[in-house]
Amino acid sequence: MDYIEVLLHIEPESTGTEIMIALLSQIGYESFMESEGGLHAYISVSDFKVADLILLQQMQEGNITFSYSYQQLKSQNWNEVWESNFNPVLISDKVFVRAPFHKVNKSVDYEIIIEPKMSFGTAHHDTTAMMIELMLQEDLRHRYILDMGSGTGILSILAEMLGAAKILAIDIDEWAYNNAMENIKRNNCRKVRVVLGSAGYLTNEKFDYILANINRNILLEDMEIYSRHLASGGSVLLSGFYSADLKAIEDCAKGFGLNPDKTMMKMDWTAAVFRKPL
């Protein structure tokens, strides 16, 4: 399949990029990559319409402005594009996230191999990196973990490496589901079960930890579900929202019996940990 690569220069970059990713995802864009040059967005030739980009410019969602350029990529160049732009990530000097085409790093505690493809969660984004940092501060040994909006499966993979007893990874996106399945196999994981679906898939299961790196609206919408499926004494690790949204997230969590414990911020992004009393 042939693809169009759209390069967007977004202002303000820090808050606008995530919003643009969400908007473009709704109109058929399948993959995104951030670089010093801007946001690279990929869509099949058959789905690409310049008129869609013009309409987004006119909408000025959240006072965001952007310019763009685009080019057609032949299918045989797809992997070459990723390999030339996707760099390894080192987090807290302990977790090394790399693609299959990068060199092995034997000097770290945990090495995760992620084939980026068309899913969110390569640790390049601050929200994923913060979730990983927070997970490193927790004791996940022998715990049952729920990974909501699992993307590439990176958090589930790390949870198994950190000693979790079993992990349920859920994502509503079929691309993410397939990519997570590949990455779990690539990292030799045995305790992760991947499901294509939403929070509505959950029945009566209780989890010791719930990981959710999604976005503000979904976190607020699903907070009651997280609380209901969290075991007493369990913890919820959340990210994917801006610092300005922290109070709304905290107020919502408190309303469902989840107590704020700690927060972490990078740029305008925030991650937070909530505990459910025993």
Judgement on whether residues 271 and 159 belong to the same structural domain of the protein: yes
**Last residue of one domain, picked from the residues 52, 83, 114:** 83
Residue 58 lies in a domain: yes
Judgement on whether residues 257 and 163 belong to the same structural domain of the protein: yes
Using pLDDT thresholds of 50, 70 and 90, give the confidence band for residue 75: low
**Last residue of one domain, picked from the residues 29, 57, 83:** 83
Judgement on whether residues 253 and 177 belong to the same structural domain of the protein: yes
How many structural domains does the chain have?
2
**Last residue of one domain, picked from the residues 83, 113, 139:** 83
Check residue 15 and give its pLDDT: 72
Judgement on whether residues 59 and 188 belong to the same structural domain of the protein: no
Judgement on whether residues 264 and 128 belong to the same structural domain of the protein: yes
Residue 115 lies in a domain: no
The tokens for 197 are 């679906």
Residue 14 lies in a domain: yes
Residue 114 lies in a domain: no
- CA dist 234 and 207 (Å) reads 7
Highest-scoring range by mean pLDDT, 10-14, 54-58, 81-85, 140-144: 140-144
Question: Which pLDDT tens digit goes with each residue over 166-210?
Answer: 999 999 888 789 889 999 999 999 999 999 988 888 988 999 999
Look up the CATH number of the domain holding residue 69: 3.30.70
Q: Residue 133: which residues within 8 A CB-CB, separation 6 or more?
A: 91, 92, 264, 271
Residue ranges with strand state E in the chain: 3-11, 31-35, 38-44, 65-73, 89-91, 95-98, 110-113, 144-148, 166-171, 192-196, 207-213, 230-242, 259-266, 269-275
Domain region containing 33: 3-83
